[in-house]
Amino acid sequence: EIVLTQSPGTLSLSPGERATLSCRASESVSSPYLAWYQQKPGQAPRLLIYDTSSRATAIPDRFSGSGSGTDFALTISRLEPEDFAVYYCQQYGSSPRTFGQGTRVEIK
């Protein structure tokens, strides 16, 4: 199974700052099957990015995804108050589909 390792575990930033979240795979991810989800307390995850770099419906353009092979990133260009949450990467190109352990973006 493909293990996804996210870093950092926690990112402490202020509104307006740029956030860069990393997701590294234990082996190459079947291209382009890497997604990012956002989860807020008490809520189900929400799809942000699919196919490595495509934004899901209604996701603002301050969210962007990039990468290939084993190294992927989610960038939030300018943090808004509603962006403070936990973010998970997921590979869905092979079974079992696997998730990273999450990166918490918190207000500094």
Partner 1 sequence: QVQLMQSGAEVKKPGASVKVSCKASGYTFTRYYMNWVRQAPGQGLEWVGIIDLSTGGTNYAQKFQGRVTVTSDTSTSTVYMDLSSLRSEDTAIYYCARGGDWYSTFDSWGQGTLVTVSS
Chain contacts with partner 1 (rule: CB under 8 A): 30, 33, 35, 37, 44-47, 50-51, 56-57, 88, 90, 92-102
- Give least dist CB 59 to partner 1, A: 11
| Beta carbon nearer to partner 1, 14 or 43 | 43
Distance CA 55, CA 36 (A): 9
In terms of DSSP H, where are the helices of 37-102?
none
Q: How far is the CB of 8 from partner 1 (least distance, A)?
A: 15
Spatial distance between the Cα atoms of 20 and 1, rounded to a whole number of angstroms:
26
Closer by beta carbon to partner 1, 24 or else 102: 102
CB closer to partner 1 out of 51 and 71? 51
- CA–CA gap between residue 58 and residue 64 (Å, rounded): 13
Minimum distance of partner 1 from residue 43's CB (angstroms): 8
For 40, which DSSP code?
-
Peptide bond into 81 cis (omega under 30): no
Closest approach of Cβ 77 to partner 1, in Å? 22
Q: Give the nearer residue to partner 1 in terms of CB position, either 18 or 97.
A: 97
